[in-house]
Amino acid sequence: MGLKFSSIMRVSYALLWALLMTSSLSCKHVDKKTEYLIGFSQCVGSDLWRQTMLEEMKLELSLHPGADFIYADAENSSQRQIAQVKSMLDRGIDLLIISPNEARPLTAIVEQAYNKGIPVIVIDRKTTSSLYTAYVGADNYQLGRMAGTYIGTTLKGHINILEVMGLPGSSPAIERDRGLVDGIKPFSNVTIRSKLYGDWLKVNAKARLLDAKAELPGIDLIFAHNDMMASGASEILHQFHLSEKTKVVGIDALPGAGGGLQMVADKKLYASLLYPTGGKEAIVTAFHILNKEPFARENILESLVIDSSNVQLMKMQWNRIISQQRDIEKEKNLLEEQESIYNNQQTVLDVIVIALVFTVISCGLAFYFLAENRRANRSLEAKNAEILSQRNQLIDLSVKAEAATEAKLNFFTNISHEFRTPLTLIHSPLEDLLKNDKLSATVGKHLKMVHRNTSRLLHLVNQLIDYRKIEYDKQQLRVSENNIVEFIRDIVTSFSQHARKMHIDLRFSTEAKEIGVWFDPNMLDKAFFNLISNAIKFSQKKGQVTVSIYQGEGSIHIDVTDNGIGLAPDEMEKIFDQFYQAEHNDRRGSGIGLALSKEIVRLHGGSIRVKSQKWKGATFTVNLPLGDSHLLAVQKDEQSFNFSDIRSKASYYQFDELQTANLKTLDVFSQPKEHSLLIVEDNPELLAYLNEIFIDEYEVYTATSGNCALTEAYEKVPDLIITDVVIPGFSGKVLAEKIKSDLRTSHIPIVLLTAQVTLEQQIAGIQAMADIYITKPFNREFLLASVKNLIKNRGILKEHFISDISPAEKLPVVHGLDKKFLNDFAGIVEQNLSNDKFNVDDICKIIGISRIQIYRKVKALMGCSITDYILNRRLKKAKYLLNNENHTIAEITYMVGFSNPNYFATVFKNKYGCTPTDFKKKQWPGEF
Ligand code: FRU
């Protein structure tokens, strides 16, 4: 659940982050779209008129958000202004607004900007060039002319004018002067008496007027190119008491304190001509240009004369404008405030929306996973319930199975009890019969075999009954204190003759001569019989078995050690299990002997352990407690053991190994048999019996393990193999697989003879490619008939292969590997028919098996020798050529691999009853 929740959070944060990124990206995108850099180069920024121009610009700019504005003041220096414009160009301005200080010096830099593709708006003053994008300002010529006309029309009598001009070289100064000259032309009473330059500055104007003070009394009107210089003139006139006589006219008519309007109202100036700054218009035009909207190149601003007749009106107008301006300012500030509030609210709203989306998604995911969890829980609960019910069913089943097993075991035990009587009734009369000297050798041999096997059955039945008794606590111990050293020595001694026969060095070692131990001799002997008999059975030939006794603290230990085949770890775990039956006979523990030994030792309060390594022998250690404190009084019963008893009982445990079956061997003088068999069986008696069944009709080879069987099969290539499934080495099924997957032996039929009777086991046998599966106990006649039948079927197959038709066409009845062999074999022969040197060795080399193996294989599959086969193919081809193609007899002789035509003719006649020449004549009569 925690994991799921954290993943919800991770997904949600990723979503939130994506939303924030998207919104911030979109904001950036909008900013970029409206961002311009506008440069404004001002010739001088200190006076009121220019400050008004800048204010107007800023006010208008505030209505166009998203534009950056850089401003530079050249302070009346043309050089400085050039440098400032250059730096603006370097900063990458999108538009230049310039009021050039002087026309000529600034022309080049303005042209340069224009030629770079940067729009240029010239304001108020001009350059000498027409390379600019737009002009904003009043017409200075018209301004001068308006002044001249005004003077001529309003003043009577002769009027002498003194003209105070702006900066020499600046365009308004030049144009205003020209306008004035043209304006007064219609008025003969008006004359320009004198001109001087005030450089647009009050101080300079005053200084020049002082220089010309001698002229002043003769002057009726001073016309200054701006109100600042006009104000200076007014002050000079006042200084020389000429204010009453001489009038002053200026230009600009700025509102506010110190402005021209106020000076006209105060009668310091006679009149002033309105000269709008054009700041607002310049910015409006700039945005038209930048936004690629239509705009006017020449933006000429209107002008008018302001004197005592209209000054009040103008002031009122200006005051209204100013108050409106303030209102606008206020509203603008309010708007900005609102905008900032709006922006904040927008941000808050964005965050709320994002958070809402985030919450909705989180809730959705949480609900989804909750539902998923519930579903998973429900299915888990269902599964749990199912598992629980299955477990209960299993418990029920196992209880039932246990009961069934118990019932079966009881049944087997009871049956085993029942077996005892009939077995005894077979066993005892047999013993009597065997004493009869008149028995024939064969009958005697068979009766001995019956006797041995009845003894073995009795022994097995007794072991099973003993085991069940102990398991049901029905076996009462009858212990007495005896010398265990002597007891074990007697048991070992009873095996010495058997060990000698098996070529095993059996030793007994002890530290003490006498150790008194409480035990039941009639029970404990069975445990040691089993252990010692096993040790001998699983020892190597000429191996060693040692039984040693040593005393520990409170207990004694008896080791039974052999140097035999040993046990793998998984075998050691199961070796004492009652139902453990090893798959191969080369392992210990088949039967119930070890389980019984363990139970007997346990009854004595002891334990039994095994230590072993595969192929390195094994040691079984029996620990028995000393003293009698672990025993009940009822268990105590004086009885001593008797050595002759031990010896007779030991003989039951030596049964298997004592019998070395004598195999009936082939009589060297008898007729050689047509077919051979390989019989694989590790039980010597059964092997002898099988041998006896087949020896009269077949050549019989025998093997007692998987490995030996394989070697024999490769070497002898028999016509059939009979094998037991459980054999030492590898199983009969593995043997069948190996035989069938080897080219040398793949054709050999295999009979699996086994005690494994279940359907599954039989299917596994057939899957291992056995040809037939016969279960033990088998019927002798059935086995004989099955073997005969399999060999006969091979014979039918051979008929196909030696018939006239190519073997490849008849192959489906053959196993895959044999089919391939026959194909290859026929192909090799076919390719070499014309080669007279071609022989069996060539085929062996190509196929890669020995001469004898290929000989036997071909014989088994086709029933003829290789030489006969080749000869047959040669003659068949010759017949075909004689029949179908027009070659000479000599040519055909060589084509089918004969070196001599006479020999070819003889062989051909032997086979087909006429010579090749006669045969050809019958086919091609016209040719001869
Ligand atoms: C201000 C000013 C104005 C005049 C204008 C001419 O610097 O002198 O008074 O009208 O420049 O360019």
Distance from Cα 260 to the centre of ligand 1, integer Å: 12
Distance from Cα 200 to the centre of ligand 1, integer Å: 6
Amino acid (1-letter code) at residue 830:
E
- Shortest-distance atom of ligand 1 to CA 43: 7
For ligand 1, atom 5: residue with the closest CA: 226
- Domain-located, residue 522: yes
Cβ 294 vs Cβ 284: under 8 Å: no
Residues in contact with 605: Cβ distance below 8 Å, sequence separation at least 6, in sequence order:
624, 625, 630, 631
Cβ 739 vs Cβ 710: under 8 Å: yes
Among 290, 309, 328, give the residue marking a domain's end: 309
- Domain-located, residue 419: no
Asked if residue 669 and residue 632 are part of one domain, the reply reads: no
- Shortest-distance atom of ligand 1 to CA 49: 1
Asked if residue 631 and residue 488 are part of one domain, the reply reads: yes
Cβ 646 vs Cβ 494: under 8 Å: yes
Among 599, 630, 657, give the residue marking a domain's end: 657
Q: Which domain holds residue 614?
A: 476-657
- Domain-located, residue 552: yes
Asked if residue 783 and residue 854 are part of one domain, the reply reads: yes
Distance from Cα 54 to the centre of ligand 1, integer Å: 13
Distance from Cα 277 to the centre of ligand 1, integer Å: 9
Coil/strand/helix, residue 544: strand
Read off the CATH number of the domain in which 599 is found: 3.30.565.10
Distances 598 to 41, 567, 678 between C-alpha atoms, Å:
117, 17, 40
Backbone φ and ψ of 304, nearest 5°: -160, 165
Query: Given its phi and psi angles, is residue 590 left (phi above 0), alpha (psi -120 to 50 degrees) or beta?
Result: beta
Backbone φ and ψ of 812, nearest 5°: -50, -25
Helices marked H in 741-834:
759-767, 780-802, 816-831
- Shortest-distance atom of ligand 1 to CA 252: 10
Q: What is the pLDDT of residue 828?
A: 85
Asked if residue 753 and residue 884 are part of one domain, the reply reads: no
Asked if residue 671 and residue 614 are part of one domain, the reply reads: no
Model confidence, pTM: 0.43
DSSP string of 284-302, one letter each residue = HHHHHHHTT----SEEEEP
For ligand 1, atom 11: residue with the closest CA: 200
Q: What is the pLDDT of residue 362?
A: 92
- Shortest-distance atom of ligand 1 to CA 227: 9
Q: What is the pLDDT of residue 204?
A: 96
Asked if residue 697 and residue 645 are part of one domain, the reply reads: no
Q: What is the pLDDT of residue 815?
A: 63
Read off the CATH number of the domain in which 896 is found: 1.10.10.60
Pick out the chain residues at pLDDT < 70: 1-34, 473-474, 578-591, 639-644, 655-671, 757, 795-816, 923-928
Residues in contact with 111: Cβ distance below 8 Å, sequence separation at least 6, in sequence order:
127, 129, 131
Pocket test for ligand 1, best of 170, 252, 301 (most atoms within 8 A of CB): 252
Distance from Cα 49 to the centre of ligand 1, integer Å: 7
Asked if residue 593 and residue 485 are part of one domain, the reply reads: yes
Asked if residue 873 and residue 845 are part of one domain, the reply reads: no
Asked if residue 720 and residue 852 are part of one domain, the reply reads: yes
Asked if residue 835 and residue 756 are part of one domain, the reply reads: yes
Q: How many distinct structural domains can be found in the chain?
A: 4
Helices marked H in 495-613:
496-501, 521-537, 569-574, 593-603
Q: What is the pLDDT of residue 161?
A: 97
Cβ 295 vs Cβ 263: under 8 Å: no
Dist CA 874 CA 127 (whole Å): 121
pLDDT tens by residue, 436-466:
878 888 788 788 888 878 887 887 788 777 8
Distances 77 to 43, 69, 100, 140, 174 between C-alpha atoms, Å:
7, 22, 10, 22, 18
Structure tokens at 387: 């598992």
Distance from Cα 82 to the centre of ligand 1, integer Å: 19
Q: Other CB atoms closer than 10 Å to residue 906's CB: what's the count?
A: 13
- Domain-located, residue 404: no
Distance from Cα 173 to the centre of ligand 1, integer Å: 9
H or E stretch covering 714: helix 706-716
Dist CA 140 CA 146 (whole Å): 10
| Pairing label, strands 305-307, 271-274 | antiparallel
Distance from Cα 264 to the centre of ligand 1, integer Å: 18
Structure tokens at 171: 């365009």
Q: What is the pLDDT of residue 523?
A: 87
For ligand 1, atom 9: residue with the closest CA: 226
The residues lining ligand 1, judged by C-beta closer than 6 Å to any ligand atom, are 44, 47, 49-50, 124-125, 166, 172, 200, 226, 228, 251-252, 275
Reference 620, options 597, 604, 653; nearest CA is 597
Q: What is the pLDDT of residue 666?
A: 52
Q: What is the pLDDT of residue 26?
A: 45
Pocket test for ligand 1, best of 42, 49, 177 (most atoms within 8 A of CB): 49
Asked if residue 303 and residue 208 are part of one domain, the reply reads: yes
Three-state SS string across 857-925, please?
A: HHHHHHCCCHHHHHHHHHHHHHHHHHHHCCCCHHHHHHHCCCCCHHHHHHHHHHHHCCCHHHHHHHHCH
Dist CA 689 CA 662 (whole Å): 10
Among 657, 687, 715, give the residue marking a domain's end: 657
Reference 707, options 724, 730, 681, 740; nearest CA is 730
For ligand 1, atom 8: residue with the closest CA: 200
88-93: long-range contacts, CB 8 A cutoff, minimum separation 24? 88/39, 88/41, 89/39, 89/113, 89/116, 89/118, 91/37, 91/39, 92/37, 93/37, 93/38, 93/39, 93/118
List, in sequence order, every residue forming a beta bridge with 810; answer none if it has no partner: none
Pocket test for ligand 1, best of 142, 200, 201, 263 (most atoms within 8 A of CB): 200
List, in sequence order, every residue forming a beta bridge with 676; answer none if it has no partner: 699
Read off the CATH number of the domain in which 154 is found: 3.40.50.2300
Distance from Cα 67 to the centre of ligand 1, integer Å: 27
H or E stretch covering 702: strand 699-703
- Domain-located, residue 446: no
Largest Cα separation within the chain, whole Å, is 196
Dist CA 775 CA 48 (whole Å): 131
- Domain-located, residue 397: no
Q: What is the pLDDT of residue 583?
A: 45
Asked if residue 896 and residue 857 are part of one domain, the reply reads: no
For ligand 1, atom 4: residue with the closest CA: 226
pLDDT tens by residue, 41-75:
999 999 999 999 999 999 899 888 778 999 999 99
Helices marked H in 579-674:
593-603, 643-653, 655-658
- Domain-located, residue 775: yes
Q: What is the pLDDT of residue 646?
A: 77
- Domain-located, residue 213: yes
Q: What is the pLDDT of residue 322?
A: 80
Cβ 555 vs Cβ 519: under 8 Å: no
